[in-house]
Chains A and B, each alone.
Chain A
C-alpha cells in the first residue's frame, strides 16, 4: 500500500517527534516508577490491584483516544489497523515466556530501559541477555514460527483489518463501527481499572482504620460556597504536591503517569499517521536492533545472513530514535532528581538471574511478535485483540515466576 501521510511533516520532523515522545515516555516512566511487571506481581504478592488497575486505565484511555480520533475522521481507519499483527499460538506462548522472564529478571521492557538508564546494573545485564535471547530466537525459533504463520497452523494468516475489532464485530470499518467498538473496548477497561483501584484503597483504608475510602480527588458534591478548612488544606497540599513534582522532589503518582503515558501514545498515533502506519511504540525490536548495531563496527552484519534480522527489521525506523531518547529521558529524570546511581546488586546471583531472565524476555517478545509496550499496549490503541491474549499469557508467566521465586 502506498503511504498516504495525514499530515505533511518531513521525515526529520517525524523522527524528531518520535524522539520527543520517547523522551517523555522515559521521563514519566522513571518519575512514576511505572512497571507492567510490578503491577502484575503485586496482584499475587501483596494482593494489591492498584497498579494493575492503572494499567487497565492506560489501555482504556489509549483505546478511547485513538478510537475517537479515528471515528471522527482525524486519522483514517487504515492507519489504525494496518499494522495489526497476525494472531496465534505464538502470542500466548511468547507472552507467557516474556512474563516469566521479566518477572525473574526484575523488569518489563519499559522498566528495564528506564532502570538501566538510572544506573541499575542488573537491568544492563537483562538488556544484554535480551539481545542474546533475540539472536537465539532468530536462529532457532523464527524459521519454525514463520512456517506455522505462513501455513496458518494455530495462526491467522492475514492481520490488518481482518484482526480489527470493528471489522470483526460489525464487518465494517466505518466511523460508526469504530466509534461503537471504541466504547466497547475502552469503557470496560476504564471502569474495571477504576474499580480495582477503589477496591484496593478501600481495603487499605479499612485495614489502616481509615474513615473515608475511595479515590482521592473524587468528592461528594454539595455545600458549595465557602471552602471548609479541610478543603483549604487539601488545596494547599495539592499545590505543594504539584510544586514538588515539578521540582522533581517527589515521584509522579501512578494515575498521573498513566494519563501522561496514554496522551504520549495518542501523540505518537497522530504523528505517525500515514508515515509509519502507527507502528506505534516499539521497545522490543530494538533489543535485537541494538545487538545488530553493536556488531556492525566489528564488520558483522546480521541482516545479511541471519534469519529474522534479514527480513523483519529495517536498518532504522522512528522507533530507533524513540528508544534512544527514552533512555536519555529516563537518565535526565533520574539525574536531575538525584536518583541516578550505579547500583550493583550485593547478591551476585541476581546478575545471573537477570541475564537468564533477559534471555527469556528476548525470546518471549520475539515469539509473541512484540513486547508489553509494542504489542500489548499498542494493540489496545489499534483496537485489535492481540493485546488481550498477551495480557492473559503475561499474567500466567508472572504468576509462575512469583511461585518459583517463593521457592528460591
Chain B
C-alpha cells in the first residue's frame, strides 16, 4: 500500500515548468520596465527632435507611464518570486519523496 502511494507521488512529481514560469514572468516585468525607461524615452526624444507630434508623447504622460510600469513591475516581481519560492519548495519536496 505504502509502495503504491510512493509510486503515485513519484508519478506526480512537481513539474519544473511551474517553478520556472513565475521567474520568467518576474524577469519579463523587469526587462519591460528597463526597456520602457531606456528605449521608449529615447524614442520619444527622437520624435520631439523630428517634430513628429502625431506620435510624440508629452513628458507628463510618459512619466505617468513609467511610474505605473514601475509599480506594476514591483507587484509582478514580488508575486512572481513568492510563487517561484513556493514552486521550488514543492519541487524539492516531490524530489525528496521520490528518492
Indicate which residue in A309, A316, A340 contacts B57 across the interface (CB closer than 8 Å): A316
Contact assessment for B57 and A317 in the assembled complex, using a CB-CB cutoff below 8 Å: yes
Contact with A along B41-63 (1 / 0, CB 8 A): 01110110010101111001111
Indicate which residue in B21, B46, B62, B63 contacts A335 across the interface (CB closer than 8 Å): B21
Does A212 sit within 8 A of B, measured CB to CB?
A: no
Give chain B residues whose Cβ lies under 8 Å from the Cβ of A301: 43, 46
Contact assessment for B64 and A12 in the assembled complex, using a CB-CB cutoff below 8 Å: yes
Q: Contacts A11-B60, A311-B55, A316-B57 given; indicate if A328 touches B21 (C-beta within 8 A).
A: no
Indicate which residue in A309, A310, A315, A321 contacts B69 across the interface (CB closer than 8 Å): A321
* Chain A residues numbered 301-324 whose CB sits less than 8 Å from any CB in chain B: 301, 303-304, 309-317, 320-321, 324
Give chain A residues whose Cβ lies under 8 Å from the Cβ of B60: 11
Instruction: With CB as the reference atom, state the residue of chain A lying closest to B87.
Output: A335
Contact assessment for A315 and B44 in the assembled complex, using a CB-CB cutoff below 8 Å: yes
Interface bracket on B: 35 or more
Contact assessment for B55 and A313 in the assembled complex, using a CB-CB cutoff below 8 Å: yes
Does B78 sit within 8 A of A, measured CB to CB?
A: no
Does A341 sit within 8 A of B, measured CB to CB?
A: yes
Does A130 sit within 8 A of B, measured CB to CB?
A: no
Give chain B residues whose Cβ lies under 8 Å from the Cβ of A377: none
Indicate which residue in B39, B54, B71 contacts A296 across the interface (CB closer than 8 Å): B39
Contact assessment for A303 and B55 in the assembled complex, using a CB-CB cutoff below 8 Å: yes
Q: Contacts A304-B46, A310-B54, A315-B56 given; indicate if A15 touches B65 (C-beta within 8 A).
A: yes
Does A160 sit within 8 A of B, measured CB to CB?
A: no
Does B99 sit within 8 A of A, measured CB to CB?
A: no
Contact assessment for B46 and A316 in the assembled complex, using a CB-CB cutoff below 8 Å: no
Contact assessment for A296 and B64 in the assembled complex, using a CB-CB cutoff below 8 Å: no
Give chain A residues whose Cβ lies under 8 Å from the Cβ of B47: 303, 315
Q: Contacts A11-B64, A15-B64, A301-B46 given; indicate if A314 touches B57 (C-beta within 8 A).
A: yes
Contact with A along B61-80 (1 / 0, CB 8 A): 11111011101100010000
Q: Contacts A296-B43, A316-B62, A324-B32 given; indicate if A342 touches B55 (C-beta within 8 A).
A: no
Give chain B residues whose Cβ lies under 8 Å from the Cβ of A293: 35, 39-40
What's the Cα separation between A153 and B76 when bound, in Å?
48
What's the Cα separation between A390 and B32 when bound, in Å?
33
Kindly list the 9 A-B residue pairs having the minimum CB-CB distance in the complex, ordered from nearest: A11-B64, A15-B68, A12-B67, A16-B68, A12-B64, A296-B39, A311-B54, A12-B68, A315-B57
- Interface residues in chain A, defined as those with a beta carbon under 8 Å from any beta carbon in chain B: 10-16, 19, 293, 296-297, 301, 303-304, 309-317, 320-321, 324-325, 328, 331-332, 335, 340-342
- Interface residues in chain B, defined as those with a beta carbon under 8 Å from any beta carbon in chain A: 17-18, 21-22, 25, 29, 32, 35-36, 39-40, 42-44, 46-47, 50, 52, 54-57, 60-65, 67-69, 71-72, 76, 83
Q: 11 pairs across A/B with beta carbons < 8 Å?
A: A11-B61, A12-B63, A12-B65, A16-B72, A19-B68, A301-B46, A304-B52, A311-B52, A316-B65, A324-B32, A335-B83
